[in-house]
Structure 1
Amino acid sequence: MSAAERNEGRLLIDAIDFQVPCRRFTIKANVTRDHQMPVVDEFVLRLLRVVQRIDSRRLAGYFGFTAREMETVLLELVERGLIESDDEDLYLSPKGQDLFKGLTDGELPRLASVESWTEGVWFDLISRNIMTPERFRPVSNLLAIREQLGKRQIPEKFAREAFEQNFHDYARRVRHHPDADRLAIYSVSEVEAGIYGYQPMPAQCTLDLDAKLESSLRLPFAEADPARFRLLSVAATDAWAMLAGPEQSASGAEDYERLTGDSRPARLTRAEAGAAEWAEAFAMTEKDGEPLLFGASYLDHNIARLCDVMTSVADAQQREAASSIIWLRPGGTAWGRTFKVGEGLQRLRDVLRARGASEVQTSAIVPRAVAGNQRKNLRRLFENGCLTPTSFYPSDLEIILIPGVAAMVVLHLDAGRHGVAVGTITTRDRPLRLMERRLTEALSKTSDRLWSAENA
């Protein structure tokens, strides 16, 4: 197990993407940017500051410039309003003198230029903080945070003041400006309230590997300023706490071992299994070349291992590439509340296409234990979807099958708040054929069809 999967006694077991209710404001602002002036300009101003007054011929002689060269330099400084002249001498203007105010020895005077910004700024309707906008395709499997009563209306005055007060954070975190600390608000000319919508907020679920084996939610978005994002963090944690994992069954462990030949997770299904048994399972991560996978099937490291196995098998096989992916999801409401389901599915598609599959059909099989309002959550991700037959694999068993190539088989164990997924990848021919037969039979029953590409 890599350091990315396990860190400081905590195991990454799931990913969640929240849909946060927001409102967009269009804010027009004039922004000043400090930048270093040309060296010659700087030395002209420094010299004028020391001598106070000097005629242009002596100044040109000091720098070794011709009269025309000196005129070019001075003309630019006059246009910027930094120097002035009378009939005889040049001297610093008040604006030029201001450049040196507050500077310590060795500090360089800097110029400020003004830029016009027109920004679409999203404020969340929970904590009224500025969100980092993302372009994303709305999918119903993400976890929505409900709006709170009385929070929908955000005054334009509030949006203006919040933008001004948090401008440097906005420039750095949202705009990703490389010189955010050199920017400043000169003025805000217009604030206009716009549409309501959602913005995603990624989170991670980790399992504490101490004696309690408790899971918790980590919100990287809020870690920079926990106090400011406290209300949003509480709302996200409450929504996450309401989810439920699949119900653990005795037949799930039996089916898992029968399909994979892997007995390692069996000891973790016992009621008395604690931190010692989990530690022992972590130490047994390899068996006959098949790694023991921890965490949700769609996590990056697990999908990467499945892709590696698919590539190895395809390299060894001299036959037409597989052209379908069948994903039997587990029960409960906690599974798959993230973009990573779609991202993982796309990575599997890409591997098959790289091996010659022109079109890849994707199918989701949903256990009957999943509530009716949750059964079509994957409709935008998979071409086909159906319910499991009445007698089928238990809802704590998950399978990602690439027919004739490989399968990831995952058992969802009763640990933490919503369970922990443990599994392996098998390429053995007999279990693959057994899984393919049962899963394709389930897909062929039109009476249990949830959606299909033909009816999209």
Structure 2
Amino acid sequence: MNKGDGIETFQTNTFGFNLPCRQFVIAAERTRERRLPMVDEFVLRTLHVVRTITAPRLARFFGFEGRDLGIVIADLQSRGLVVVEGETLALHASAKELFRTSDELAPTITVAEPMLADVWFDLVTKHMVGGRGLRNVPHLISLLVRQTLDESEARSSFHDNFREYLRIARGDKSADQWNLYSILDVHPGRYSYVQIGGSEILTLEPAPKLEARLQLDDYDRGGRTRRLTEAMTAELSTRDQAAPSQVSSNEFARLTGKENLGRWTRADATFDLVGWYSHELRSGVEITAPLVGHPYVERNRRLITSLLNEAKLDVDGEDRWDLWWLRPGGARWGATEDLPSTLDSLRSTIRARSKGGTLTTALVCPAAVSLKDAHLFQRIFDRGIHAPVGAAPLALEILIVANALAVVSVMVTLSPSVHIPIGYATIDEDTVKRVAELSRKSSFGSESTRLWPKVARA
């Protein structure tokens, strides 16, 4: 395959997971070694080398006035670091301990300070996680709580991973300079979630294969990556996706006006993705582009946004446009933070091109998508609609933006176990009009159910 065509691998879907966590508030004391003030350090270093010396001789050595040296010596004596016998000075035994951590005979002192640690532990592996931005994102996939964590376990984990906490939760680049002196108290707090992303990657050689790859760079410690991967893979395996169907393929051809998908279907009913995609890239049509994967994956999102920038958009007197997204069936669709990112990108494009205009978004769910699953996207789309039975093929996906851009995708079979969406994004005016008219007629009928908002917006 030609890597220049970008067809060696494809990202076909993305996922996001809610990893359950629990907070513990830990009161502790930490210590670190610190250098002494310069004058104190050099006096002690001199005494460490010569053992004993008279005060006048030490004053002459440093060029001190007698009164200045007296102030320094009095301070060191009061801190139990110097022994004064007449005019003779010597190190106190405790001062000799100050040199124990230095490679250059530089005395250091141990500084202790209290700290209040807001510590979060994930409830799958019992490891600490960063506490910033924790929240529950309803449309993502929530992992099941697999572990319980009590105060004693939190205390033990914090003790064993104290510097890791400083690096992860506090971003302390000098974490290695600190030591944990004591843990005074541990209080359990609230529950929340940290988000972890992942992708579904299609490789075509030697045979089509879909692989879930999780973004676990920050979690690669010990066996943690393996346990998280197992938990996420298990949850992902319970989520289905729409299967290819002849009904969906026929509707795809009707909407797009492209009847040639059959040309790329082999005798065993598998789809020749490489042949189709290479052919479409060579066609050189700038206003229509082939897509592999759902519209919200990064590569497709960039392409769709770029096309919208070039689309014919009548901005005279208009300040509000509509986005209409018919999602396919299956619980794997849209469980990603790439979905709201795509909407934000399209909103920004409309706002920039219309100098302040707004884009109102609507999600249309096939009848086979449960009301519970449909409502997971209530925070993302302005409106939610439940299509009547038979109005929307499950393996079809349609996106229409401002009646200027259309995306139509359909599920195809690459092997008995690999099904992916392929389709087109276009700003061809006739095609966009065709898609808008044919798809809205069936999906916005009187039998559709408004899910949100319950009262129509003005």
Instruction: Work out whether the TM-score is over 0.5.
Output: yes
Pick from 130, 137, 140: which aligns with 1:139? 137
Given that 1:386 and 1:448 are in contact with CA atoms closer than 8 Å, whether structure 2 keeps it comes out as: yes
| Contact 1:245 1:418 survives alignment (8 Å) | no
Counterpart in the other structure of 1:178: 173
Hey, what's the Cα distance between the residues in 1 that align with 2:315 and 2:35? 62
Distance verdict in 2 for CA 1:344–1:139, change over 3 Å:
same
Q: 1:127 to 1:61 in 2, by over 3 A?
A: same
C-alpha deviation, 1:185, in angstroms: 1.1
Q: Any idea what SS the aligned residue of 1:161 has? A: helix
1:360 counterpart SS class: strand
**Alpha-carbon separation, structure 2, partners of 1:59 and 1:264:** 97
Structure 2 residue corresponding to 1:168, chosen from 136, 147, 163: 163
User: Mean Cα displacement is larger for which, 398-407 or 440-449?
Assistant: 440-449
Per the alignment, residue 250 of structure 1 pairs with 246
Shift of the 275–352 alpha-carbon distance from structure 1 to 2, 3 Å rule, reads: closer
Is the 1:22–1:199 Cα contact (8 Å) retained in structure 2? yes
| Partner residue in 2 for 1:449 | 450
Aligned residues of 1:285 and 1:293 also touching (Cα < 8 A): no
Aligned to 1:376: 375
Q: Quick one: structure 1 residues 447 and 213, their matched pair in 2 at CA, closer, same or farther if it must change by over 3 Å?
A: closer
After TM superposition, the score normalised by the length of structure 1 is 0.82
Any idea what the Cα deviations from partners look like across 1:369-420, whole Å, max 9, x if unmatched? 3244322221121121112344444222222221232223333334586743
The worse-fitting range, judged by mean Cα deviation, of 242-251 and 387-396 is 387-396
Asked whether the 8 Å contact 1:321–1:352 carries over to 2, the reply is no
1:227 has 2:242 as partner: no
Alpha-carbon separation, structure 1, partners of 2:362 and 2:424: 21
Alignment partners' CA distance in 1, 2:220 and 2:166: 15
Count of paired positions: 448
Distance 1:279 1:75 in 2: 88
Q: Which residue of 1 aligns with 2:210?
A: 215
Report the Cα distance in structure 1 between the residues aligned to 2:161 and 2:117, rounded to whole angstroms: 14
Q: Structure 2 stretches of 5 or more lacking a match? A: none
- 1:115: which partner in 2? 113
Larger Rg: 2
- Structure-2 separation of matches of 1:280 and 1:357: 39
Deviation per CA, 1:230-273: give whole Å up to 9, x if none: 33332211001111111112343454455556789766665758
In structure 2, the partner of 1:129 is: 127
Over the aligned positions, Cα root-mean-square deviation in angstroms equals: 3.8
**Equivalent-residue separation in structure 2 for 1:77 and 1:276 (angstroms):** 84
Q: Deviations over 1:110-134 (max 9, x none)?
A: 5543333222222222222223334
Summarize the Cα distance change of 1:270–1:240 in structure 2 as closer, same or farther, 3 Å threshold.
Answer: farther
**Closer, same or farther: CA 318–23 of 1 in aligned 2, 3 Å:** same
| CA shift in 2, pair 1:32/1:409, >3 Å | farther
Please tell me whether residue 200 in structure 1 is matched to residue 195 in structure 2.
Answer: yes
The secondary structure found in structure 1 opposite 2:336 is coil
Q: Decide whether aligned partners of structure 1 residues 333 and 52 sit closer, same or farther in structure 2, where only a CA change above 3 A counts.
A: same
Question: Is contact 1:320–1:356 with CA below 8 Å preserved after alignment?
Answer: no
Map residues 31-110 of structure 1 onto 2, 5 A cutoff: 31-34=30-33, 42-55=41-54, 57-64=56-63, 81=79, 83-87=81-85, 88-94=87-93, 96-101=95-100, 103-104=102-103
The CA deviation string for residues 201-246 of structure 1, in whole angstroms up to 9 with x for no partner, is 3223322333232222223337512513433332211001111111
Match of 1:328 in 2: 326
Counterparts in 2 of 1:85 and 1:325: CA distance versus 1, 3 Å: farther
Q: Determine the structure 2 residue equivalent to 1:341.
A: 339
| One-letter amino acid of the structure 2 residue matched with residue 356 of structure 1 | K
CA contact (8 A) 1:403 1:436 kept: no
Distance in 1 between residues matched to 2:206 and 2:271, nearest whole Å: 5
Which letter maps to 1:119? A
AA aligned to 2:342 is: G
332-341 or 284-293: bigger deviation? 284-293
Aligned to 1:240: 236
1:390-405 paired onto structure 2 within 5 Å: 390-405=389-404
333-342 vs 245-254, greater mean Cα deviation: 245-254
The answer to whether the 8 A contact 1:244-1:333 is kept is yes
Cα deviation code 1:26-52 (max 9, x no counterpart)? 111212244566655554443332223
Q: Which runs of 5+ in 1 are unaligned?
A: none
1:17 aligns to what SS in structure 2?
A: strand
Amino acid in structure 2 at the alignment position of 1:430: D
Partner Cα separation in structure 2 for residue 229 and residue 445 of structure 1: 50
Indicate if the aligned counterparts of 2:388 and 2:447 stay in contact, CA closer than 8 A.
no
